[in-house]
Amino acid sequence: VKDAKYSAITAPGSSFDSNYDDAGDTSIAPNIHLIVPVNDQFAWGINAYSNFGTKTEFDSSFVGAEYGGLTDVKSANFGLSGSYRLNEQWSLGLGLDLIYGQGKLERKTSQYLGSSTALEADADGWALGFNLGTVYELDEHNRFGFSYRYSPDLEADGDVNYSRSGKGKVDDTLIMPLPDMAEFSGFHRLNE
């Protein structure tokens, strides 16, 4: 949505620019993995990557400031995993994920109330998750895989300023729910 206008019901005849044009940008999510085969059946690995993150920032004059504002969430996963080949068809894998999350939120009151800061929060924390998966190999040209990743609610501790409370910044805990993921995949070799 670009160049949208908002006409308020509570203030007839008033119109405010919604400033939708540049709320979010493209980000890079780096991934690095190391797999070390021990023998024909067992391998272990370490990895560093990110599964979650978002950043949106609406202009301070955005008419929906109490719903928009700044949302900046980043995460980093550090994992240790292992895999075992049961037989010619089946392989199993599992791993532990150490998840770091950092979030920053800013919300302002509506333009009708003078557009003052209503909430500022800056917090970070750690959580422990896991993943498991399996691969079924029909033949050397065809494989299917399924994986499941459990990501817990991350408890992030930090400073929160509820400006309407009159207390200023306080230490508080934010709960950042991270989504679980399930994936089904297939592999088919087209050429030798």
- Please count the structural domains in the chain: 1
Query: For residue 5, is it within any domain?
Result: no
Residue with tokens 């206008």: 5
Say which amino acid occupies 161. N
What span, in angstroms and rounded, lies between the C-alpha atoms of 80 and 128?
12
- Do 31 and 81 contact (CB within 8 A), yes or no? no
Query: For residue 144, is it within any domain?
Result: yes
34 or 16: which leads in pLDDT: 34
What span, in angstroms and rounded, lies between the C-alpha atoms of 61 and 18?
8
Residue 163 has φ and ψ, to the nearest 5°, of -60, -30
Q: What is the dihedral of CA 173, 111, 71, 26, to 10 degrees?
A: 180
Is the pLDDT at 115 greater than 70? The verdict is: no
CATH number for the domain harbouring residue 66:
2.40.160.60
- Global pTM reads 0.74
The pLDDT of residue 150: 94
Domain containing 111 equals 30-188
Percent of the chain with pLDDT over 70: 75
Q: What is the mean pLDDT of residues 2-11?
A: 53
The pLDDT of residue 159: 86
Residue with tokens 């895989």: 145
Mean pLDDT of the chain: 82
185 or 1: which leads in pLDDT: 185
- Do 106 and 69 contact (CB within 8 A), yes or no? yes
- At CA 161, angle to CA 158 and CA 164, rounded to 5? 155
The pLDDT of residue 187: 93
Span of 15-24, 95-104, 137-146 with lowest mean pLDDT? 15-24
Query: For residue 14, is it within any domain?
Result: no
- Model confidence pLDDT, tens digit, residues 167-191: 677 788 888 888 899 999 999 998 8
Residue with tokens 């929060």: 121
Query: For residue 50, is it within any domain?
Result: yes
The pLDDT of residue 148: 97
